[in-house]
Structure 1
């Protein structure tokens, strides 16, 4: 007997089947009824479709009538519904329903099988989208886990019971435990070292407020982490980034700031002190601007005075030299000699006045060069004399000035700044002496050497200072003078200037007996100043050719008078005229060229000759009025040619001409040897 013959057919009019077909026909979920096909021994060997609603037929890719009477293996692939044969057999034999998922073609179906007589009622639901979403979510979770595990920072999450729901390997490494031993444990039990720390406080605040916290946490002796913790649903997430390098850089920066500010990093936050410091800085700025303006004014005035002063002094010298032989002639009458003598005396007095003007202008220019920072060998006696000459108006009515100079070497300093220091100290000494007792008071300047230092002391017999005043004497804006008569910056500025020259300024004082300020400066190894090189005067007269280039006609005239008696002098009144002349005739033994001219400057002339006739430049001497632009200052430092400052000394001009280097083709007369 065949397997089909063992099946007892259901009546066609079975009310249950009819009702099922009627109820499930329009249902969106797939529904089908399968009956068991048994062997002769009664074992289930297959299943056969009795009925399927349209949704089931669509899910299997066939029509309802096609499925009726067909077996599983004829319709479904082994990996599909046909592969669920064992599941369906267990449902029929055990009577218990089963649910599982399987793939049917490209779709994923969720199957629920219930025993119905000698068969099963199967419901199918398409879960392809849900399955794909679940797979995508699973892939996303795997990706997130990979990211969290590969990141160089620590990350962990806890639930509302403080149980660790996730911890990456870096976070586990910070605790000294493995990920497996930490997972699902209570945080405070797994890591008791967190209790009582800012970490615990931040986590509990986030759990209470469901907010966000950012803070830095020290996780080791020299290790720091920047911690972010926030509430995310039922979990609290914590992310910690290692900021040890950042903290190390900050510590190094703080240490550097501490050294730069003499170990004082903690600013005093009092409003009154801040206001005072702001006012002090403002006053210092005003004083600095005043000094800068005074320097610029001094430089400009000095330059403008030096040009006319040069030809005034030169013409006076020329007139004295011309009239002196006439006044000494024996054949001149007494009246003529008396008149010439009186005229010569007037000219000599005028020459002395011009010399005094020259010294004043030189001192002004020294003051104007105070902003140059280059240190060089300085004769401290010259700097002291500068201070005395500038402060004499304050000292003249108060005390005698006494000098006690020793044999001292040059100091490594800045001439203009050192002169300013002595000027301030002398004015300070004058203000310490009351007016009206000139004979009793004195200001003494003493110089001596002590080892590697040059010492200059400025002492006065004035009122002196109490220990409290002496202790604050060098503080900025501290003064004992009435309001409006002093800023309290003088000694503070002096201290800063001396220290900028690697020296030191100290003070001692006895109330009622006077004060002594001592300036200590390092000895300079070099003993001479850069400038005009030493010249050798040729033995015996030798007439030479000299070119004078200057845009001041009066100055060229006086130079021609001063040099013309012994040499042949040619004059050019502009840089362009000088270039044109040298292009045609360069047979000059010495060329005196002004540095600053309106047409072409001496620097422009030098640059042009460097390209065309460089051999002429060795005979150049530059003349300056003392006012240097930045370009001129750089030029004079870079070009190794001699320079002289106006007004000129006739002897220096003649010596420079006599010591001029030999020019090609010139005949040089050698001095006769003794005994020849």
Structure 2
């Protein structure tokens, strides 16, 4: 059975097919003359289609481009299909990016087919995009903020050095295509857990949960407090295709500055209140001093007249109390004006007794328990101011008990005053078994004019002055809670001249 050879395509049909091809195509003989070219090639060469057959390739494409293609032509005539691309920089011609294919003819090697594609526009767009990416990366690497871009497939598109430094990530994780899960594993293996995460949970369960949370994160702003105390603000933007653009800013210094400004405003507010206290006490001292002078003079006369009688001891107590009142008014005024107190060696046990004498009426019906350690080291200070501090603390404790409903039948109001030595400090504790002070108010009770007493029953000045007196003596005052209920105010004063450090309450 004989085989019939396949018919050769008609030349006109072949020319029509080539003309329909949108890319430049031509058939080139071994001597580099064009045998046939389609319309796209004529347009590329900017020559009439009818004049192209028989023309040298160098005349149509220019000697520079023809010489550039010549090595590939020899390979094609040898039977090899050659593909290449590159920029052409022919003198006097526009710069173009060409891709070409040279293929040998199937029936003889005296000619080859040349296929050209002008990719200049596409390559210019790619180069422009690459330039933009390089510029963007240069900009991002130059900013202190952290930036990363995460694709919808939960893989990294870009991360700058600021982001890596902010979270202490190794440089290799910044490679494009790195899964987000790798970043999370790195943090988990450094025990960098979130407060709500269970450290005993399987690692991959934590990774999956956090990846899902990141990819579902809505656009907006949120803050994260790092284990080292830094505050990081995260801003997230979501593109239409699901890509996440995240920026990270370290707000630690800003938050510290805000706290410093708040502390400055609070200090100014306290200064204004203390100034108001000073004005108030100046007026009170002026009004009290005149009748107090009369009381002091009359008590002196009474003591002289009662000398040698049964009333002599009482008259002497009245005289001493009047003199002490005068000193207390003067010391209060000095405290409010923040004048330095007198620096004398003081017996704190005697100061406590003096302060308790001033609260004799306030303590009516209240059990007083004294626990004064002996011997106590002498301290340097103002005895009248310290006595007033003791009286104020005990008086406040008694006032708190007076308005407290008994919690049980066997409950009795009780104030415990203890003085002891703790390291280089002398600690004075005044505790009561009353309702206590809520935790939210344990610092505010020292603010001038702040009081928890009903209207008309408290001025809010006493504890503010106690703090002023304690601080003027190099000490401190704080509120502590008692396990069984009630409150205790703790004053710490330096027990000797070597105690210079500021005391710290637990």
Q: Same fold (TM over 0.5)?
A: no
TM-score w.r.t. the length of structure 2 is 0.43
TM-score between both structures, scaled by the size of structure 1: 0.34
